[in-house]
Chain A
Amino acid sequence: MLIEVDGVSHTYGDGPLARTVLRDVSVRMTEHRIGVIGANGSGKSTFARLLNGLVLPTAGTVRVDGHDTRTDGRAVRRRVGFCFTDPDAQIVMPTVREDVAFGLRRRGLAKHEVAARVGAALAAYDLAGHADHPAHLLSGGQKQLLALASVLVTEPALLVMDEPTTLLDLRNARRVARVVADLPMPVVLLTHHLDLLADFDRVLVFEAGRIVHDGPPAEAVATYRDLMTRDQP
């Protein structure tokens, strides 16, 4: 899986309210596990949304596996699964089983195939016992696992996760991290939980809309800590 971000800038709004959040970002990514860290408002969430075509760059191009997000967004979204911070916003069907099935129903698969894949996903993420329960009654950790299962059941070639553990306690954050560690596909993970990145192949550090460091986790985390300390009054 090759992700190419070439000369990308992005500005929200226009006129006096215009806010540039990414400035001339270029990066090529082929690694299996890529971490993205940075302060709030540093541009990392916009960067993540570029990879799925949720946000189109104001300038520059983003290509995933050769597909341009601007001209071939559908193909990109079929390949790139996206997991958000707040699972409540991502769960769209009332019960657990129905939400996992939702993405597959939209792909026109046969009912028996949908049922088989949903059953396997529920079992894989310890949700089989809650299959027919209302999704809103799950715990925070279970909701995030459900959101993850609903994305992974469609078998994306790449998974982008925007701070999936931010709303979770340590136990559930570790649980989600274990699931992520075992995933077979490449993962781009945005997080403030720096210890989750220890085994990652590469970590990008964002600051004021630019990548200010790109390297192994230990170096990147040290750079990030240094940046955050410098910012303190």
Chain B
Amino acid sequence: MGLFHPGTSLVHRVPAGVKLAALCAAGIGSVFAATPVGVSAYLAAAVLVLVVARVPGRALVRQLRPVLVFVVVLAVFHALVSGPGRAYVVVGMLLALVLLATALTMTTPTSALVDVVVRVAGPLRRVGVDPERLGLLLALGLRAIPVVLGLAGEVRDAQRARGLGASPRAFAVPLIVRSLRHADRVGEALAARGIDD
């Protein structure tokens, strides 16, 4: 998922709640549209939304690059195991939903998404759930994406500098440790800003 890209397009002007509801509906609908025709329609709709939103191609590619690696691996796996038709349906639908989710986050300020989550989760207050915390969870999740990608880059550089090659263990362990340390510091910063009060 991407981060907000300011603009004045029609997609930008649609209220955040409507866009979020549409994305949820698309997710549910994808279960019933798992055919080559259905997938093509989803992909066409996703591309149309991105074109109308006037999302810059370079920013889009930058946001999608990490997902594209996964998509290619999944496509090859399904093509070998289940055949090209099935690979198109599975991977095509996944890609369409990722594109729609990216369109949502690139055209909607995070604070607007947080407001929607807080509003929708409002009734859960009666059963002890704090909607503000759910909203914060969403915001922190989005904020964590570039941070963890940055940490991964630093760990990879350190790995290369020490000539460790492509060792998954030498990559995963420091990345997890550094991510947890970062989470600890973020928790402390939130406490300092009175979030627990």
Contacts and interface: CB of A to CB of B under 8 A. Distances in A.
B110 A54 contact: no
B139 A134 contact: no
Contacts of A88: 147, 150, 182
Given A88-B182, A94-B139, A136 B150 contact: yes
Contacts of B136: 92
A88 B195 CA distance: 17
A103 interface: yes
Nearest to A91: B143
A52 to B, nearest CB: 6
Interface string B155-197: 0000000000000000000000000001001101111111101
A132 interface: yes
A73 B197 contact: yes
A77 B178 CA distance: 27
A79 B170 CA distance: 44
Contacts of B194: 74, 77-78, 103, 106
Given A54-B191, A92-B140, A92-B186, A134 B3 contact: yes
Given A86-B185, A134-B146, A98 B192 contact: no
B9 interface: no
A181 B185 CA distance: 26
A134 B145 CA distance: 11
Contact of A54 (B140, B142, B192): B192
Contacts of A90: 185-186, 189
Interface string A82-102: 101010111111110010011
Contact of B189 (A92, A94, A95, A106): A92
Contacts of A101: 111
A98 B193 contact: no
Nearest to B142: A94
Interface in B106-152: 109-111, 132, 136, 139-140, 142-143, 146-147, 150
B192 A93 contact: no
A52 B189 CA distance: 11
Contact of B192 (A82, A91, A132): A82
A103 B197 contact: no
Contacts of A94: 3-4, 110, 139, 142-143, 146
Contacts of B191: 54
B189 A77 contact: no
Contact of B111 (A98, A103, A154): A98
A105 interface: yes
Interface string B1-39: 001101000000000000000000000000000000000
Interface in A93-124: 93-95, 98, 101-103, 105-106
B109 A89 contact: no
Interface string A25-38: 00000000000000
A92 B190 contact: yes
B111 A74 contact: no
A74 B194 CA distance: 7
A137 to B, nearest CB: 8
A226 to B, nearest CB: 33
Contacts of A77: 192-194, 197
A103 B193 contact: yes
Contacts of B143: 91-94, 135
Given A82-B192, A88-B147, A106-B195, 6 more contacts: A77-B193, A86-B185, A92-B139, A94-B4, A95-B109, A95-B110
Interface of B: 3-4, 6, 109-111, 132, 136, 139-140, 142-143, 146-147, 150, 182, 185-186, 188-195, 197
A-B pairs with lowest CB-CB distance, top 6: A89-B185, A136-B146, A82-B192, A74-B197, A132-B6, A90-B189
19 contacts: A54-B188, A74-B197, A77-B192, A77-B197, A84-B192, A88-B147, A89-B185, A92-B140, A92-B190, A93-B143, A94-B3, A95-B3, A95-B4, A95-B109, A98-B110, A101-B111, A102-B193, A132-B4, A136-B146
